[in-house]
């Protein structure tokens, strides 16, 4: 049974989804208001050269050394809408102005307070991700795409959001669903390899 369309749910791009912005992507829904919009970020598109999308001095001021503490690979292409905007996800729910997405996953809040958290950035697991841009859908748009088979819904997994192997997220999310989805996860991106 698919997951409900709500914050924290993963949208897994089906093989039939033709939009190149979302090929083999996994989107975590951050907000779903059926009468207004649905907003999410792609969690499996790490950026190599982030300075091309966002000025380096602004990123350095914003992150204030967090990237080094978090072991790099903190910046991701969140989606095609407003690629200069910045959204961040983290695991710390009690900082001021943080919004709960689902159990163990939060967005926003005070970055300085986040950085000052005892033990933040000291564990072996990442606690923070930045997303440049986002994905959004008008009322009924996403529901129509789901009914056409463009997206597969599954409950979100916080560990997949913060994985150090984002290139495996699409396969792992599908495989975790079992059945025909697990079989789909083995289909190579290059059909000539099939």
Mean pLDDT of 95-114: 92
- 3-class DSSP state for residue 51? helix
Global pTM value: 0.86
Contact 128, 70 (CB under 8 A): yes
Judged against a pLDDT cut of 80, whether residue 149 lies above it is answered with: yes
Judged against a pLDDT cut of 50, whether residue 50 lies above it is answered with: no
Neighbouring-strand partners of residue 128: 90
Indicate the pLDDT class of residue 56, thresholds 50, 70 and 90: low
Question: Distance between CA atoms of 40 and 31, rounded to whole angstroms?
Answer: 7
pLDDT for 71: 44
Kindly report, residue by residue over 18-40, the tens digit of the pLDDT: 899 999 999 999 999 999 999 99
Helix (H) or strand (E) segment spanning residue 88: strand 81-90
């Amino acid at each position: 049974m698919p997951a409900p369309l709500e914050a924290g749910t993963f949208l897994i791009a089906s093989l039939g989804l033709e939009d190149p912005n979302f090929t083999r992507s996994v989107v975590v829904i951050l907000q779903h208001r059926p009468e207004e919009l649905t907003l999410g970020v792609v969690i499996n598109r790490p950026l190599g050269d982030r300075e091309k999308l966002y000025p380096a001095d602004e990123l350095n001021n914003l992150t204030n050394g967090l990237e080094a503490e978090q072991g790099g690979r903190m910046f991701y292409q969140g989606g095609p809408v407003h690629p200069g905007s910045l959204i961040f996800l983290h695991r710390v729910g009690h900082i001021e102005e943080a919004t709960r997405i689902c159990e163990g996953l939060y967005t926003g809040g005070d970055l300085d307070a986040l950085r000052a958290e005892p033990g933040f950035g000291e564990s072996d697991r990442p606690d923070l991700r930045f997303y440049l841009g986002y994905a959004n859908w008008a009322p009924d748009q996403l529901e129509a795409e789901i009914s056409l088979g463009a997206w597969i819904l599954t409950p979100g997994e916080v560990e997949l959001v913060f994985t150090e192997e984002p290139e495996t997220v699409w396969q792992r999310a599908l495989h975790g669903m079992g059945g025909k989805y697990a079989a789909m996860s083995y289909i190579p991106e290059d059909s000539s390899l099939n």
